Amino acid sequence: MESFIVSARKYRPVIFDNVVGQESITSTLKNAIKTNHLAQAYLFCGPRGVGKTTCARILAKTINCQNLSDKTEACGLCESCKAFDSSRSYNIHELDAASNNKVDDIRTLTDQVKIPPQVGRYSVYIIDEVHMLSTSAFNAFLKTLEEPPPHAVFILATTEKQKIIPTILSRCQIFDFHRISIDDIVNRLIFVAGKENIEAEQEALQIIAQKSDGSMRDALSILDQIVSYKGKKITYADVIENLNVLDYEYYLKATDAFLSGDVSSALLLFNDILEKGFDGHNFIAGLSSHLRNLLVCKDEATLKLVEAGSAIRDKYREQTLRCPLRFLYKGLEILSYADIHYKSSKNQKLHVELALIRLAAINTDHGKPQNTESGKEEKQNDIMPGKRDDGRTEKRTDRAKKDEKISVKKDEYSPPKSFSIKERLKNQQENSESGVADTVDTYREPDDAAEVNREFDESDLMEAWRSFGDTLKSGNPRMSSIIKAMRPVIEDGTMIILELSNKAQKDYFDQKYKHDVLIHLKRQLFNSKIEFHTRVSEKTEATTPYTDEEKYRYLAEKNPALDKLRNEFGLEY
């Protein structure tokens, strides 16, 4: 019986033109050989399975070839090439740094470097996983690497360039290998499948390429695995079953349920996924990728960014026509939150289910599906993690507004005459040390023109104003109380004015809170046209001294002797 050779070895490139996805690097190496500009040391770095060691071997074979082709490729027929292909070449030495990482191993190597090649022009030393060398071994290697004999060429390969000391890096020409693209991997898989008489669906090879994460070796290994499982006829269903990949149909069905506001179907679908043995975190990540692909399909120019087969891509294009942009934006935000907090949740199933409920609530109003085709979506309350759901989804009548007014004690919200900036700065420093932030979420303009700017009155304004003060309660209770006690007023419909006692207070409030207050009021009052301004009260500016200099001038007017005292002793305010 003929021994089986894995595809990653059987179809390993033997010339530069066969290397997949690294055209810039192979072109540079071929030009260096052609113009006789070979460096004494090269460093090939990049992720696994992208062709580092393969290119090192091809380079070693090519520079020793006795009959280079017009394309600067090894002929494969000369004695040097034959010796290389049969693994008996004495000019090419491969060293595994993971198992030869001591100073004594490097000393042996430096002694061996002095021996000239018997056949060919160069002795090539390929050191794989060079980052595994110890610091002492690196230092012992420095002199030889910098000034090797004319016949010696070093090729270092690593997946972790950051672990190599800078003195080694400075002595090498560095080539960064990148992950191989999905299309390049699929084309190579089609080539290998044709050579092996394997019938494979395009979508099946696409899934294999995505699962390989940019590694050609991993893709060929997965192909061998699928062939062992199903034989020489590979379908999309075979691949997702063997690799335990969630079918696209689940994400399409889940999105349909979200669009129609069908929470029950979404929860049942998730339960079915869990019963099939899939992880909830993987489902959240896959659903995020699905919504991202729907967003990308909105524009023909970005359609090429969807890494999927033509049949699946058509399904994306069909579904994205029914998805408002606002749904996709909010959905990605919800899923990002669920992804980040999944591992910290004590009830992970409930955590995912809450995310699904929020997704289903995006496109509905009181549980009724909106008319997304006509584009006439009504304003809805955005349900987001950590945000207050105040339930105001319809314009309230004046009578309802009166009923909702909160009765408070008269002296509870009496505006103070001033507040201490020194105390505020002290509290702010304490908050920064404890990691407490005073800011609120960034306001975004409505994504849909149908979201109407609502009218509001003084009671609505005060309710929103006090809720902003509540956001500061945990970090700075004193400032929270001060702000809640202030009373802004409405001028010209959407113009909100806040009067402060003096210019110092105004400047400080504008710098620290004005922007956040404006964002908060726009969000809470559902009105993007709101303008917020502060000004100094005419009643207090002229009469109330605030700064040290103002206080001194005020006292000096009453007692001119203070000026004489200050000037005589050179006192500060």
Q: What are the Cα distances from residue 202, in Å, to 237, 264, 283, 312?
A: 12, 34, 24, 11
Q: What pLDDT score does 479 carry?
A: 84
Report the distance separating Cα 274 and Cα 198, nearest Å. Answer: 33
Judge whether 399 lies within some domain. no
Residue 554 structure tokens: 């005020």
List the CATH number of the domain containing 495: 3.30.300.180
Same domain, 314 and 412: no
Judge whether 204 lies within some domain. yes
pTM: 0.58
Judge whether 337 lies within some domain. yes
Three-state DSSP state, 424: helix
Q: List, in order, residues 6 or more apart from 94 with CB less than 8 Å away.
A: 126, 128
Q: What pLDDT score does 558 carry?
A: 83
Judge whether 467 lies within some domain. yes
Q: What is the dihedral of CA 149, 155, 158, 161, to 10 degrees?
A: 60
Question: Is-contact 92 61, C-beta < 8 A?
Answer: yes
Judge whether 524 lies within some domain. yes
Q: What's CA 71's distance to the chain center, in Å?
A: 41
Neighbours of 253 (CB within 10 A): 15
Q: What pLDDT score does 539 carry?
A: 65
Angle in degrees, 0-180, between the axes of helices 325-340 and 280-296, rounded to the nearest 10: 150
Question: Is-contact 307 182, C-beta < 8 A?
Answer: yes
Q: What's CA 297's distance to the chain center, in Å?
A: 20
Question: Is-contact 58 13, C-beta < 8 A?
Answer: yes
The domain of 461 spans 404-541
In DSSP terms, which residues pair with 124 in a beta bridge?
A: 92, 153
Q: What pLDDT score does 406 carry?
A: 39
* Tally of structural domains, the chain: 4
Same domain, 270 and 139: no
Judge whether 307 lies within some domain. yes
Same domain, 420 and 535: yes
List the CATH number of the domain containing 22: 3.40.50.300
Judge whether 568 lies within some domain. no
Q: What pLDDT score does 281 carry?
A: 92
Q: What pLDDT score does 392 carry?
A: 42
Report the distance separating Cα 186 and Cα 521, nearest Å. Answer: 52
Same domain, 341 and 220: no
Q: What pLDDT score does 452 carry?
A: 59
Neighbours of 287 (CB within 10 A): 27
The phi-psi region of residue 367 (left if phi > 0; otherwise alpha if psi is between -120 and 50; otherwise beta) is left
Using the structure block, give the residue that is written with the tokens 């610091």.
Answer: 135
Residues of the chain with pLDDT under 70: 1-2, 309, 365-452, 539-547
Same domain, 133 and 150: yes
Residue 105's closest CA among 151, 137, 143, 62?
137
Residue 498 structure tokens: 């806040």
**Predicted confidence (pLDDT) per residue in 410-455, tens digit:** 344 444 444 455 555 555 555 544 444 443 344 454 444 334 578 8
